[in-house]
Amino acid sequence: MAINLCNAQVSDLDDLLAVHNDAVRNLDALWTSQEQTLAQRTEWFEKQTAAGHPVVVARDKDDALAGYGSYGSFRDKSGYDLTVEHSVYVWPHAQGRGIGTALLVELIARARAAGIHTMIAGIDGRNAGSVRLHETLGFVEQGLLKEVGFKNGRWLDLRLLALRLNDCDPPQPA
Ligand X SMILES: CC(C)(COP(=O)(O)OP(=O)(O)OC[C@H]1O[C@@H](n2cnc3c(N)ncnc32)[C@H](O)[C@@H]1OP(=O)(O)O)[C@@H](O)C(=O)NCCC(=O)NCCS
Q: Which residues bind ligand X (CB under 6 A)?
A: 23, 27, 29, 87-90, 95-101, 121, 123, 127-130, 132-133, 136
CB of 135 to ligand X, least distance (A): 8
Backbone angles phi, psi at 85, to 5 degrees: -115, 135
CA distance 164 to 142: 12
Least CB distance to ligand X at residue 34 (A): 17
User: In the complex with ligand X, which residue's Cβ is closer, 10 or 128?
Assistant: 128
In angstroms, what is the minimal distance from the CB of 174 to ligand X? Answer: 36
Residue number with CB closer to ligand X (50 or 67): 67
Q: How far is CA 59 from CA 34, 50, 64, in A?
A: 27, 24, 5
In angstroms, give the least distance from the CB of 107 to ligand X: 11
Cβ 89 vs Cβ 23: under 8 Å: yes
Contact criterion met (CB below 8 Å) for 73 and 3: no
Q: Which residue is nearest to ligand X (CB)?
A: 100
What is the Rg, in whole angstroms, of the alpha carbon atoms belonging to the chain? Answer: 16
Q: In this complex, which beta carbon is closest to ligand X, that of residue 72 or of residue 98?
A: 98
State the nearest-atom distance from the C-beta of 38 to ligand X, in Å: 21
Yes or no: say if 71 and 111 are a contact pair by the CB < 8 Å rule.
yes
Nearer to ligand X, 29 or 116 (CB): 29
User: What DSSP state is assigned to residue 8?
Assistant: -
Whichever of 90 and 107 has its CB closer to ligand X, that residue is 90
